[in-house]
Amino acid sequence: MTEQYIAFHAAERPDAVAIVEDGRAFTYERLNRDLGSVTTALREFGLPRGAAAAVGCKDLYFSWLLLLGLERLGVASASLLNYEDPSSMPLLASMDLVISEQSFPAEMARRHHPITQAWRESALAREPEDEKASVPRMPDDPMRVIRTSGTTGVSKRVRLLRRMFDPWVDVWIWFHGLTNRTRFLVTLPFTVGGCYAHATACLRAGGTIVFETRTVLAETLSSHGITHVILMPLLLDKLLDNLPPDYLKPTDLMISSFGAPVSAALRERAVNRLARDVKDMYGCNEVGFIATTSMHNRDGLAVVWPGVEVEIVDDRDVPVPRGQVGRIRVKTDWMASGYVDDPEATSRMFRNGWFYPGDVGVLHGPRRLEIVGRGDEILNIGGTKVAPGAVEDVLLRNGVAREVAVCSIRNRDGIEELCIAIPADETHEAALLKRIELTLGQLQVGTFYVVRLDRIPRTGTGKIQRNLLKEAVAGAMATRTGAPPKA
């Protein structure tokens, strides 16, 4: 499907730039020709339709050609990081072929083809395959194999079919207004499903994908005339902190974010200094996008997407009245049916046609969703139920620290007490404690502890890894001499 859009743009606007990688510009005509050549090289591996192959290549243009070529052959693709550790073994072992610069032992990848300079040049020199050689397209064709972010420490694999992937791509096109004037800056690896889908959407719309590693982010946004970018909250916050005082705000920049919530304060800062809007996309790999919060949502609530059905249920899976807190469950026509080779997780999270993302929320009216936090992260502080994300948002909004993560630790009496993790180099202890005490005065959380960590554990998309956070906080508190700071 994507290659047909590329061929269309190559015929209509052959000199239009499709991809820019560190100063190298590739037109749609060049992309279409190179895609035909690389597809010829890939066909020589003899992969049948419906097979799966993983790609790992630092040259993002060539990596993109491989991924698009596999799609053209009806082969599902997976993306690899520049370096994969043994935790990726389940993914690699499930692939029919791994094409990468990194070598893997036989027990990790049963069939591996190395990407060398010679093979790359040979592939690009092949006679381009005719577009008509593409396999017929069916709704249940496997398109991508992606890994979930693993906020609980265990990553799972999801197989995206064409009927799932294409609506996800369409969301980016129509909701974000992608056109042939779009310039999308890639800031995340293609292992992140949303980044790959956004890049695909940009090509289908006839826009330009930009990869840039030579300049700082603020300069890249200006010099390349970027119109769309994905920035996780931490990266967005850091970017705003480092903007020069005389930085000229781009005229038409749309920032998308997902994986971790964007606070109202951060969105306001971004709109004032950098973007026309910041869209916080709530969703997951299993379902796609569920709801969106933007500057137009004055009450801070997310708006549920067309084609998405959301219910709030109790512990017996009975829907609760509007305005009441409960577990979120979601249903769409394009959601996954389960995880690859994980029947236990599938039966737990996919039930009776619904997907249970593990979040707690409230429906305040038709399509008005408040996401309270992770169901397995809700803290019980002296009988008071507290969402860690809400506490973090309050602390960040009041400028307590540039980065904050919250968890709870049981004391000797088995009572949970609030622990606030901040970067190790934050400000003076007494002033910090006073600011936190004043900020948390309305939340009735009782005793709290402040723990300084060298690094707050997060996933690649910025989600706090609560289990690793709790381990780090417990370890830091155990090594202290004397009583930990408290109020």
Angle between helices 117-124 and 28-43 (to 10 degrees): 110
Q: Give the pLDDT mean for 419-441.
A: 78
Q: Give the pLDDT mean for 278-307.
A: 88
Do the two domains 2-211 and 231-374 of this chain adopt the same fold? yes
Three-class HEC string of the chain: CHHHHHHHHHHHCCCCEEEEECCEEEEHHHHHHHHHHHHHHHHCCCCCCCCEEEEECCCHHHHHHHHHHHHHCCCEEEECCCCCCHHHHHHHHCCCEEEECCCCCCCCCCCEEECCHHHHHHHHCCCCCCHHHCCCCCCCCEEEEEECCCCCCCCCEEEEEHHHHHHHHHHHHHHCCCCCCCEEECCCCCCCHHHHHHHHHHHHHCCEEEECCCCCHHHHHHHCCCCEEECCHHHHHHHHHCCCCCCCCCCCCEEEEECCCCCHHHHHHHHHHCCCEEEEEEEECCCEEEEEECCCCCCCCEEECCCEEEEEECCCCCECCCCCCEEEEEEECCCCCCCCCCHHHHHHHEECCEECCCEEEEEEECCEEEEEEECCCCEEECCEEECHHHHHHHHHHCCCCCCCEEEEEECCCCCEEEEEEEECCCCCHHHHHHHHHHHHHHCCCCCEEEEEECCCCECCCCCECHHHHHHHHHHHHHCCCCCCCEC
Say whether pLDDT at 259 is over 90: no
Question: What does pLDDT average to over the chain?
Answer: 87
Amino acid at 227: T
Alpha-carbon distance of 221 to 229, in angstroms, equals 9
> What per-residue confidence (pLDDT) applies to 151?
42
Decide: 289 and 283 in contact? Cβ < 8 Å.
Answer: yes
Decide: 327 and 360 in contact? Cβ < 8 Å.
Answer: yes
> What per-residue confidence (pLDDT) applies to 354?
96
Decide: 160 and 143 in contact? Cβ < 8 Å.
Answer: yes
> What per-residue confidence (pLDDT) applies to 385?
64
- Supply the CATH classification number for the domain 379-478: 3.30.300.30
Decide: 273 and 336 in contact? Cβ < 8 Å.
Answer: no
Angle between helices 388-397 and 429-439 (to 10 degrees): 120
Strands 308-313 and 326-332: antiparallel
| Angle at the Cα of 302 from the Cα atoms of 297 and 303, rounded to 5 degrees | 90
Say whether pLDDT at 186 is over 80: yes
Strands 208-211 and 17-21: parallel
Residue with the two structure tokens 């100063």: 23
Q: Give the pLDDT mean for 364-385.
A: 76
Which CATH architecture best describes the domain 231-374?
A: 3-Layer(aba) Sandwich (3.40)
> What per-residue confidence (pLDDT) applies to 382?
56
> What per-residue confidence (pLDDT) applies to 237?
84
> What per-residue confidence (pLDDT) applies to 430?
73
Please, which residues have CB within 8 angstroms of residue 414's CB and are 6 or more apart in sequence?
A: none
pTM, rounded to two decimals: 0.79
Can you give the residue ranges of every domain in the chain? 2-211, 231-374, 379-478
CA R_g for the chain = 24
Beta bridge partners of 21: 24, 211
> What per-residue confidence (pLDDT) applies to 387?
76
Strands 183-185 and 208-211: parallel
Higher-pLDDT residue of 294, 439: 294
> What per-residue confidence (pLDDT) applies to 443?
60
Alpha-carbon distance of 164 to 183, in angstroms, equals 25
* 194-206 confidence digits (pLDDT tens): 999 999 999 999 9
Q: Which of 216, 303, 225, 234 is nearest to 270 (CA)?
A: 234
Give buried/exposed letters for 405-434 (b at 16+ CB in 10 A, else e): bbbbbeeeeeebbbbbbbeeebeeeeebbe
Structure tokens given for 324: 């009441």
How far does CA 129 lie from the centroid of its chain?
34
Q: Give the pLDDT mean for 67-96.
A: 90
Residue with the two structure tokens 């993790």: 421
2-211: what CATH class? alpha beta
Say whether pLDDT at 483 is over 50: no
> What per-residue confidence (pLDDT) applies to 84?
85
Please, which residues have CB within 8 angstroms of residue 105's CB and are 6 or more apart in sequence?
A: none
Q: Give the pLDDT mean for 255-282.
A: 89
User: What CA dihedral angle connects 177, 180, 185 and 190, to 10 degrees?
Assistant: 90
At residue 339, what are phi and psi to the nearest 5 degrees?
-95, 155
Decide: 94 and 108 in contact? Cβ < 8 Å.
Answer: no
* Least confident among 132-146, 248-262, 304-318, 424-438: 424-438
Q: Give the pLDDT mean for 116-133.
A: 89
Beta bridge partners of 56: 100
